[in-house]
Amino acid sequence: MTASKNRARQNEIARQISEVEQFGDDLSSALLKANCRSDEVQAALAPLEQLKDNLRNLRLDDNVVAPAVASNRPGDMAAIYAEETGVDYATALVHCNMD
């Protein structure tokens, strides 16, 4: 992905996150005005929080994972694999060198 396409994608993801946050704020206000309990409001907002997390993960993938995979450097991929799976770096390095 070229730098300009990546920047455009990052901007689009940031815009989507902002829209989800605004929708969450509006929904929260509407639910509170309707005298919903705070636990009901939190339950209603939970899927939006998951959506925001998913969008943030897309940004992480674009900024960290994709370049490491594209570079095909086992050390970079191993560090990411270790972080994502919780295994130690040596195990991850062995895993990433297996094809």
Sign of CA dihedral 14, 15, 18, 19: negative
Instruction: Please tell me the total count of domains within the chain.
Output: 1
Q: What is the pLDDT along the chain (99 residues), one digit of tens a residue?
A: 566 777 788 788 888 888 989 999 999 999 999 999 999 999 999 998 888 888 877 776 666 555 655 566 656 777 777 777 788 888 877 776 654
- With respect to residue 94, please indicate whether it lies within any of the assigned structural domains: no
Asked if residue 78 is part of any domain, the answer here is no
- Is 79 a member of any domain? no
Structural domain includes residue 93: no
- Residue matched to tokens 């998951």: 50
> How many whole angstroms separate alpha carbon 80 and alpha carbon 66?
10
Output phi, psi for 31, to 5 deg: -70, -40
In a domain, 65, yes or no: yes
Q: Which domain holds residue 53?
A: 3-71
